[in-house]
Every structure is written in C-alpha cells, then in structure tokens.
A = this chain, B = another copy of it.
Amino acid sequence: MQLFYDPDAAPPRHTLGEEESKHCVRVLRLGRGDTLHLTDGRGNLYRCCITDDDPKHCTVRIDDVQSGFGKLPYSLTMAVAPTKNTERFEWFLEKATEVGIDAIVPLGTEHSERRIFRTERGGKVITAAMKQSLKAYRPELRELTPFREEVLRPFPGQRFIAHCGAAHAPEGKAYLPQAVQAGTPVEIFIGPEGDFSPAEIDFALAHGFREITLGDQRLRTETAALTAVVMVSVANGPKQTN
C-alpha cells in the first residue's frame, strides 16, 4: 500500500500537489484507473481511483473512507528540548511517529543548546514517517515553546518530568511504565543535554508534575524521549493479541 498525504483531502475528488503527483505518476508509474490511498492526517484513510494521471496535477476519485484509522488507544504529548545536533532530534521525530505519538513540543530550557527550531523541516520528517508507516493521524509538531509557558499550558491528564539528578519531591521518582494510568492523556518533559535546572524542576513540581525515571541507564536526550514513548505504549499495551 502506498499512502499519500494532504491535509485538505476530502471526498468526492482530490488533486494531489505537484510533488506528490510527480511521485505518483513518474516515480511509481501509477496511471488512470489505478488505486492509491490518501489521508488527511486527521484519521481519515481514503481509498482512491486515479481519474487523471497528469504528472503535475494527478486527480483521484475517493471511493471509500475509513475514519479513525489506526487511532492510538492513548494520548501522548512529548515536550523535548531540541538536541544540539539537529539530526538526533529529527531521528526522534521519525521514530516517535512510527511508535505512536499525538504531539511534540520542542522545549526552550535554561540549559538548551539550541534556541531556534525549524518546525517546517521537522514537519517534513514527520510527514515522511507517517506515510512510510501507513498512519492516518499526523503527529502535531508545535513551535519552540519556553519551558514555563508549556508548564502553564492547561493539560487534562498526567504530566511527568524526567531528569537525571536526585528527586526533588519527598515521594521520589516514579518508574514511568508503572506511573502511567492506561487511557489517561500523558505529557512528558525531557530535558536538554545539560538537563533541566533545579528551578525548572521545582517549577514543574509546583504545577502538578511528577518526577520520573526511565531506569538506571544514562540516555541521550533523544534516546530518553523515544524510550519514554515506547514505555507509554507498553503501559497502554494490549493484554494479549494475535
């Protein structure tokens, strides 16, 4: 199955953008009457039939709609400080999209090495990963957000902050897979190479966050972030599946 993406896709007909038209007609050599799949990135998977194989304006007829296609059984937002090395963060965007995530918030922190984040470039990585892994939901990539602004954003669910130092709160750190309540929306903060500052950790705790550990290993920022994504999927995982 080959998946195409356009946020504006809707029945009964749709014309692919120039890039996707070229990919469809020139690269994949699909032609009139051939079937392709299209998504709007909001859960709708459209089965389409090519009615005009113009290599710049390929037009399709939408024959079938599946809504809520592959909807995650949980809701996860990751707020992660972009790494100094852009590739490492883009790698996280790709992998998190594959494993399953709703939103990524690039976080501006006291110890951040990177103060600028190119949302457009990161968005292309997410779109490519969404298409490659055949998803009909496109994770939302927010603009770079200052730490305190993101903490103060109302969030209806569990909020966690992962840091490397000793716990600040008397109850200590929770092990993420055991802290997640299945079905509850979760937001997880992952710090920069230099970790969160004590003041940032205390600010989060003062606003209802729980400190977590991902285990005893020392992980890079992007590795910690993906590990957390997998742990949340496990905490919401099937009991037994075929």
Contacts and interface: CB of A to CB of B under 8 A. Distances in A.
- Size bracket of the A interface: 35 or more
Contacts of A145: none
A226 B233 CA distance: 14
Copies of this subunit: 2
A175 B237 contact: yes
Interface stretch (A21-29, A152-160, A216-224): A216-224
A210 interface: no
B175 A238 contact: yes
A interface: dominant SS = loop
A112 interface: no
Contacts of A219: 98-99, 133
A173 B241 contact: yes
B223 A238 contact: no
5 contacts: A133-B217, A172-B242, A174-B240, A213-B242, A216-B241
